[in-house]
Structure 1
């Protein structure tokens, strides 16, 4: 199954919780001339980002921290959301190699979780995290 087709049902109406819950998008990038692992500079070029913006690379588990742990006090909606995040993480862990997590910005932070699919092809997910 194509990764995008596998992820889209999970991403539909899945919101990343922060001060402003935001949707999660699938991203796919042709990266034939990109050397891995990515650096902040190569991410800027790859995604046509503002070269003057703040870019921080973090461990991928930081993206999942807080969204993949089921709590006994969750209601049905929160439990279902967490299970979808767990499934999303499983798929990405199985289908992407060399995953990297970048945060771009300071208050409205674009979050990119990207990994390699095959030679010259990168894929992953993107969302926004609002921190005030």
Structure 2
């Protein structure tokens, strides 16, 4: 009976170890699904830009000035993408358009200009993502007022 008990205990321990390893693998798979382009500098920057857009939305809602994002976001023109073919003339033009919209938003003085500028900025994001990387479109749409 002691031998049967130790065999069952050993089986239980091995089973738990295998289960915990499998769970860890599943956690890594979940993380990969959440951030499929995790290692690409452009993907990392885009996530920061999304967070900045949430801050901008909050600032517009609170009638606060919006400044300081242009230089940080300018890196979108040079950051290494997941797929090198993304850095083409169209991407550069869309990036420049985004930066122009952001500059205009930061210069806006009236509430009407701020709201119009913010919506134009989000539309710019959507247009580019429809062209190059459609994955985050639903998330970007949540930025609309």
Alignment TM-score, normalising by the size of structure 2:
0.29
Alignment TM-score, normalising by the size of structure 1:
0.31
Q: Which has the higher helix share?
A: 2
Give the greater-gyration-radius structure (CA).
Answer: 2
Greater length-normalized contact order (CA 8 Å, ≥ 6 residues apart)? 1
Q: Which has the higher strand share?
A: 1
